[in-house]
Amino acid sequence: MKNLLVKIAAAALISLGFAAQVGAVETKTYDDPYKMIEAVADQTFRRISNDQPVIQKDVEHLRVIVNEELVPYIDSRYAAFRVIGNYIKQTKPEERDAFVVAFKDYMVATYAGALTQYKNQKVIFEPAKAVGNQNIVTIKTRVIDPGKPDINIEFKLRRAKDSQNWQVFDMVAEGISLLDSKRAELGNLIRQQGLASVTALLIEKSKAPITAPLQGNDAKN
3-state secondary structure the chain: CHHHHHHHHHHHHHHHCCCCCCCCCCCCCCCCHHHHHHHHHHHHHHHHHHCHHHHHHCCCHHHHHHHHHHHHHECHHHHHHHHHHHHHHHCCHHHHHHHHHHHHHHHHHHHHHHHCCCCCCEEEECCCCCCCCCCEEEEEEEEECCCCCCEEEEEEEECCCCCCCCEEEEEEECCEEHHHHHHHHHHHHHHHHCHHHHHHHHHHHHCCCCCCCCCHHHCCC
Weakest mean pLDDT among 10-19, 176-185, 203-212: 10-19
Q: What are the tens digits of pLDDT across the range 150-184? A: 888 898 999 988 888 899 899 888 889 989 999 99
pLDDT tier, 6 (very low <50, low <70, confident <90, very high otherwise) = low
More confident residue, 16 or 125: 125
Q: What is the mean pLDDT of the segment spanning 47-59?
A: 88
Give mean pLDDT, residues 185-200.
96
